[in-house]
Amino acid sequence: MNFQQTSECFRNMNFLNDKFTDTRIPSALSNEENKLLEESVEAKMKELSSLQLDIVENMDRIQMLDDHQKLVQDELATIQ
């Protein structure tokens, strides 16, 4: 899998829109331990989403820098 395919793969992933994401227990049935676990899971899901966005942004930056490097190398080859 090349860089472009990897980048597209991460863009197409969206963990928060998964159909199995909403697994919360109704509040009438939850005890304190379950409520704390649900809060922890929600916080981790938000963190996961944020990290996923960071990955996509970093992959875009890498692609831009790679493109720029190719242009600079082509220009350098033309000058020499």
Name the DSSP letter for residue 1: -
The CA-CA-CA angle for residues 15, 19, 21, to 5°, reads 60
11 contacts 56 by C-beta, under 8 angstroms: yes
17 contacts 52 by C-beta, under 8 angstroms: no
How many residues would you count in the chain? 80
Band (31; pLDDT cuts 50, 70, 90): confident
Residue 45: its pLDDT value, please? 96
pTM of the model: 0.58
**How does the average pLDDT of the chain come out, rounded?**
82
pLDDT, greater one: 23 or 57:
57
Output the CA torsion sign for 27, 28, 29, 35. positive
Residue 21: its pLDDT value, please? 57
